[in-house]
Amino acid sequence: KASDTPIYFHSGKSLSMKRPRTRTGQTPLLADPIHPASIPSRAFQGARDARSFEEQDQVLTFTTDSLLEPIEITGQVRAHLYVTSSAADSDFIVRVSDVYPDGRSILIVGYVLRARYRKGFHKEVFMKSGKVHQLKFHVGWMSQIFNKGHRIRVTVACTGAPFYEPNPNTGKTLTIDFPVDSIIARNTIEHNRRHASHIIAPIRSQSEQ
């Protein structure tokens, strides 16, 4: 049986099971729909080296230290993000990968949430500038053993085209043709004592294995 365990984001783009203790931790994240980060695929890439995406300017990575022993994650992974935005709407992409000792970052799962639908697809709730908003969403199902010496990485971005169609960020009605009045959203990912962004990972204990 796997137990749900929070894995927290920290300043310095590190990832840990310890909750942040600082009061003021956050990392900026730009969402530019005209010049989006690139995921050059129309289908989920899966089990490929994700560094070409992770190294782009509009992409954040949070990574654990090298593991001292294997860790098994089996079940549904969920994201709990605390964010602010200058825009009424923006997308938030979360991906999980297995980082090998040679640096390869092998993608396992990933998903996206459009912030206006954070309360469900039955209604639209727009963000307010300067306010911290909580986003909870499914990232994917997985069963993976992260071996000793490997690292767990969580990638956060707001664009990844053409796989994810960019969000105009205006909050206006979405149309088939991309609007000419799209705007850049200046977002932040909060990772502090009060607003501790994290993923929930079903970790299987070593004693059960």
- Taking a C-beta distance cutoff of 8 angstroms, is the pair 199, 96 a contact? yes
- Taking a C-beta distance cutoff of 8 angstroms, is the pair 163, 192 a contact? no
Strand partners, 146: 71
- Taking a C-beta distance cutoff of 8 angstroms, is the pair 77, 96 a contact? yes
Q: What is the pLDDT of residue 121?
A: 93
Phi-psi region of 158 (alpha: psi -120 to 50; beta: other; left: phi over 0): alpha
* pLDDT at residue 209 is higher than 70: no
Strand partners, 143: 74
For residue range 133-158, list pLDDT tens digits in order.
Answer: 999 999 999 999 999 999 999 999 99
Q: What is the pLDDT of residue 46?
A: 77
For residue range 1-59, list pLDDT tens digits in order.
Answer: 789 999 999 999 999 999 999 999 999 999 999 999 999 987 777 789 999 999 999 99
Ramachandran angles phi, psi of 95, nearest 5°: -135, 150
Which of 86, 75, 44 is CA-nearest to residue 140?
75
- Taking the CB of residue 122, how many other CB atoms lie within 10 A of it? 6
Q: What is the pLDDT of residue 205?
A: 63
d(CA 113, CA 67): 29
pTM of structure: 0.95
* Percent of the chain whose predicted confidence (pLDDT) is above 70: 98
If you average pLDDT over residues 176-199, what whole number do you get?
97
